[in-house]
Structures are given as C-alpha cells and as structure tokens.
Amino acid sequence: MSERKQFRDLASPAEAHEAIASLDLDPGTETIPLDAAEGRVLAERVDATLDVPGFDRSALDGYALRARETFGATETDPATFDLVGTVEAGERPTVNLDPGEAVEIATGAVMPPDADAMVAVERTDRLGDESEAGDDPGERVAVRTSVTPGENVMPAGADIAAGERALGSGTRLTAREIGLLAALGVDRVPVRAKPRVGIVSTGDELVRVGENLDSEAGQIYDVNSDATAAAVREAGGEPVVYPHAGDDYDALEEVLREAAAECDLVCSSGSTSASAVDVIYRVIEEQGDLLLHGVAIKPGKPMLVGRLEGPEPVTATARGRMAIEERAEEGRHRLVPVGLVENGAGETLVYPVDKGSGATTSLVEADGIVEMDAEVAYLDTGEAVTVELFSPDVRPPTLLGVGEDDPLLSRLLDRSDRPRYLGVGSRAGRRWLRDGVPDIVAVAGDTDELDADTIEIGGWTREWGLVVPPGNPDDVAGLADLVDRDLALVNRPTASGLRTSLGNALADLADERGVDRHELVDAIDGFDFTLEAHESPARRVAAGGANAGLGLRATAAKLDCGFVPIDEEQVRVLAAADRIEKPGVEALGRELDDLDELCTDLPGFRGR
C-alpha cells in the first residue's frame, strides 16, 4: 500500500470553486426526436428554413382587395367593390382579383393573388342578396374606410422568416421552444448529450434505503446516493448509482475505477476512513490531474469531485418595473407576454413581447406573463409588476439586444452565453435603447449622433443591393431599372436599416434627375410591399415571386441568386452606458474587436 496522503496545503473555498469549474464535462451531442426534447439543451443554433406563416394571411374577418382602390373612402363616401368569392381558413384561393373586385375572407385564410390589404367587416356594408354569401356575381360591398398596402395582413414570415435565427446553442428546450420548432417543421433536434454521473457512497455504516437497518450497530441510511442522483437529474444529467463499497480498500478502488471508466463525472461522498481518502487520491492521481487536495472549510475538508450546473432555484414569479408603457384594449382582461432584463444596477426590468395572436415567437422571446385586468387601461413606465414565469428555471438573458437583422450578428450571438436578440429593425432599436430596455442595439444605415447615455462598442461594413434571379435574366443594372422599367420589387420594412439606405440612394438618384424623390418611389412597382427578415425578399425572388429584392451580397450568395451591388452601409453596435460593465456586454465587446474570422465566408462583409 502506498504512503497515506495528508491534507497539508488546503485550498480556499474560492479556489475549490475554480477547480471544479475548470473540469471539462462535454459528453458530446446527439440528435433526438422533437417529442423527446423537453428539458434538453440545444447543441447548435437552429435557423428557420421556412417562413412562419408560410403565406400571406388575413389578420381578421373581412374583405381582401387592392389597397389603392380604397384611397379616399370614408363613412359618407364609401368605395364599392364587386364580390367575386370567398376564402376560408385552410383552403387554397381559387379566385383572381380584377380592378374593382374584392373577396370575402376569414381570419387566418390565405390572401388571394393581387390582393394586398384587408378591410375589417365592421367597416363595410353588404349590398345585394346577403343569403348567397358572395356567390352572386351581382353582389357588392361598400367599404367605408381606406387602407394601406399590407394593412390587416400578416405577411409570410411575419412570425419568423426563413433564414432568421430561431434558437441559439445552449437554449434549454421548454414547451415554448418546442412549439416554435414544431412550427418550423423540425422533427429532430441536435442536443447536448446527458452527462453520465457516477455516484459512489462510502462507509461501512451505510445501509441502502429499503434494506434492514441495525441502529444499535451504528448503521444509518445512505442519504447521499439518492439525494445526489436527484440533483444530477435536476441538472440535466444521467445519474448512475454504484454498489456501496464500504471502507474495504480493494473493493472501493474497483468501484471507483469502474465508475471513472463508464461515466463522464464521478461524485464520491461519505467515510472518514483514511483508506478511502487514499484510494480516491490515488485513482485521480493515476488517471488524471489532482486539482486540489482538501478545502479550508468545515464541514467539507475532504476533497469531493463533482460538477453540477443548472439554474439557481427561483420562485415561479418575479417582481420588476415596466421598462416602457403598455396599453390594453379597454374592457378586456389581457395576458401580456413579457421579457426580463437586468439594468446596470441589477434591477429587473419588464418589457412587452407581442407579435399578435398566433405568433409562436411571442412565447419563445418572453419569460412570462403580466396580467392586466379589464379595468386597467395601461401599465406606466416604472410601474411595479408581478411576472408569472413560464418556468421556475427562467432567468433573464445575460445579453439583451434589439435592432437590425444581420447574419454576422447571429454569429456573434452564437459566441455569447444565453443571449436574446429581437430583430425589430434599426429605427425601432434606437427607440428601444432610448427607452432604456436593451443592453445593446445593432443599427444599419444610421448616421445619427449618439445620445449621451449611449456608447458605440464596435461594428462592421456590409454590401447591399438588389438580389435578382440566378443569371439576372432581366438584366437589372441598378435602381434606375426599377424606376424606368416594369419590374417588381420586394422591399424591407421602414424600420430596417436597409430600407433607409435604399431611400437615401433613391434620393441621390432623384437629385441627379432633378425630380422629387417621391416620384421615383411611386414609379417602383412593389416599393411598399415589404417582408420582415433580411433574407425574406431574396427568398421571394428565388421562388419566382419578384424581379428583384432588397438584400445583401451574402444573402444572394447563400441562396445562389444574382446580385446587383448598390453601396455599402455601416452596422454599428451601440450599448447603454449604464450596462457597459455587464458581463454579457463586455464579452460581446471582446468579440467585436476581431471580426476577421467571422467574416471569412460572408461575401460583402468586413470588419472596421
């Protein structure tokens, strides 16, 4: 037998924590069915491969029509339309609209071709025989309001668009995330494999629960095996409880070596026997590195090897202050999905997350719900609220970002720990930052001066232009072709930095021609037709739905489309000054210092 090891240089508790945290516990990954994924942790990022919804759909019951034909319609001077059919939810439209025609359509139904807006049934009057429900060719509808293109329509990809970052690596899958994956058609997901944790309790005095106990002989039940196994399961591991070895030197060594060979991690406990301590010491010394031998703490001086990671237990509710005002429809009890974020002082802020009825991502991007009683008209900024958490495991993200949708930003977020990013666009992102909600915001095509409480922590340059079908069959050479020729464009929303850059480029073209910018805008077919995510216009072009789409060179390359360059734009990452020292913001700032590696296979991107 080797010489007994003594506890000489005891480590401090802090050093013990560091040693345990340094253990490499990576059991690898596995791909499992979606119905078995609850509670597991994603091993890699999941991007949307299709639009949700996958079609332009009605947001209410009413009539689908061309928005421009309602301009000027009022209560006293309505516009009238011929009814040419109906579309119910779940059926394919079989009608095409000619000028002056409308289609009766249900909530959630597919918008018919050539219709770009909806009018609520409450703002209309039926003319003619109502019993035929629109089948009578002579039946008409009077529209008592005007609508704009896209009004009351949930466009394809409004919930989440193909190419968008859906869930990041490290996301623990709850019912909300599984719902989003199901909406995307993902039936198998890559997850981190469960670490196998061997549990070995030592001591001749121990008796397993269920066996006979001889108290007069000093026996006690083995508490540690069952308690530790339960803790391992709670933390997402797979516990393996080994037979009790007592204090027999050879038997204990055999159990420890068996556990070490079969498991990713071994936790031992119990026994003050010097022989047991020596066996554990020798097995670790022979098979790996001894990180510490004894801790200067009582109780707990003998070394224990183990690593349990998981959220700190929290209650199913959280208290916080509203970051921004939230108003409610009068007379209705409302459940508001909300997210949580900590400000620079460590206080919990609560912000609304709501994309409307049926939006799956509203729940994934939220942490819980705030109830608003029917008589409550609004929640004021700074008002204290109670959040009903979706799970006791919910914790605020380490980094909350909002702003421009960008592929390089998605790669940066992959390197962050538990980030959350809401692609609300550059304009809305700046507004959120002024309201004190996010930690950081990414803005593109934005040259405004920084507010006093905002700090720029980095950025990059990206090339933008027109994404066209492969081979550029229409020979599109630039923006002038959109103005002068009968070509259909798919645009980005006004909140997008790309849309701002397009507007600026059109203003320059208008100056060259000596005309008003609005003349050029009005001449472009589809300028007001917008899709949410940065890849959505390009995907619409690739599917044959338009001649050109506003987008990035990198997107065109990814989708094997053609690209007509227009210009470059700056993307800036701005941080709230009072959160610059948050660990998540500091970590992102370090990544922003060197973007060369992340830009290597993103054509048109470069650090600055």
Dump pLDDT digits (tens) for 380-408: 999 999 999 988 778 889 999 999 999 99
Both 468 and 423 in one domain: the answer is yes
* pLDDT value at residue 287: 57
Residue 298 gets the label, from left (phi > 0), alpha (psi -120 to 50) or beta, of beta
Residue 453 lies in a domain: yes
Q: Best-predicted range by mean pLDDT among 206-220, 250-264, 532-546?
A: 532-546
**Which of the two residues, 227 and 77, has the higher pLDDT score?**
77
Residues 6 or more apart whose CB falls under 8 angstroms from that of 564 comprise 465, 466, 468, 472, 476, 477, 478, 548
| Mean pLDDT value across residues 345-367 | 79
In a domain, 300, yes or no: no
Host domain of residue 40:
29-53+158-192
Q: Report whether pLDDT(586) > 90.
A: yes
pLDDT at 214: 78
Judgement on whether residues 494 and 588 belong to the same structural domain of the protein: yes
- Whether the per-residue pLDDT at 6 is higher than 60: the answer is no
pLDDT digits (tens, 9 = 90+) for 80-100: 999 999 999 999 999 989 999
Task: Out of 169, 192, 215, pick the residue that ends a domain.
Answer: 192
Whole-structure pTM value? 0.66
Q: What is the per-residue pLDDT for 185?
A: 92
Pick the more confident residue, 199 or 60. 60
CATH code for position 509? 3.40.190.290
**Percent share of the chain, pLDDT over 90:** 53
Q: Tell me which of 100-104, 351-355, 367-371, 555-559 is least confident.
A: 351-355
- Could you report the per-residue pLDDT of 482-522, keeping only the tens digit for each? 999 999 999 999 999 999 999 999 999 999 999 999 999 99
pLDDT value, residue 312: 44
**Same-domain status, 147 and 213:** no
Q: Report, in angstroms and rounded to the nearest whole number, the Rg of the chain calculated over CA atoms.
A: 31
- If one compares 137 and 467, the residue with the highest pLDDT of the two is 467
Closest to 406 (Cα-Cα) out of 456, 361, 362, 441: 441
Same domain? 209 vs 276: yes
Residues near 26 by beta carbon (within 8 Å), at least 6 away in sequence:
none
Domain count, the chain: 5
Decide if pLDDT at 13 tops 90: no
Report the CATH number that the domain containing residue 271 is assigned in CATH. Answer: 3.40.980.10
**Residue 463 contacts residue 365 (beta carbons within 8 Å):** no
Distances (CA, A) of 500 to 445, 479, 487, 570, 582: 6, 14, 21, 12, 31
Query: In this structure, is residue 247 part of a structural domain?
Result: yes
Cβ burial of 508 (10 Å; 0-12, 13-18, 19+) is exposed
pLDDT tens for residues 299-340? 556 654 433 333 544 448 899 999 999 987 766 788 889 999
- Least confident range from 43-52, 243-252, 391-400: namely 243-252
406, 283: one domain: no
Measure the CA–CA gap between 290 and 313, rounded to whole angstroms.
31
For range 124-142, the mean pLDDT: 69
In a domain, 561, yes or no: yes
User: Does pLDDT of 451 surpass 90?
Assistant: no
Please classify residue 134 by burial: count the beta carbons closer than 10 Å to its beta carbon, then call 0-12 exposed, 13-18 middle and 19+ buried.
buried
**Does one domain contain both 279 and 345?**
no
Question: Do 485 and 559 fall into the same domain?
Answer: yes
Does residue 214 share a domain with residue 269? yes
Calpha distance 552→605 (Å, rounded): 9
8 within a domain of the structure (yes/no): no
Three-state secondary-structure class, residue 62: strand
Residue 138 lies in a domain: yes
pLDDT band, very low/low/confident/very high, at 134 (cuts 50, 70, 90): very low
Domain with 88 in it: what CATH number? 2.170.190.11
225 and 374 fall within a common domain: no
Residue 357 has pLDDT above 80, yes or no: no
Q: What is the H or E stretch that residue 16 is in?
A: helix 13-21
CATH assignment at residue 179: 3.90.105.10
Residue among 404, 534, 421 nearest 166 (CA): 421
User: Same structural domain for residues 543 and 599?
Assistant: yes
Specify if 419 maps to a domain.
yes
CA distances from 256 to 83, 262, 288, 376, 442 (A): 80, 10, 13, 62, 52
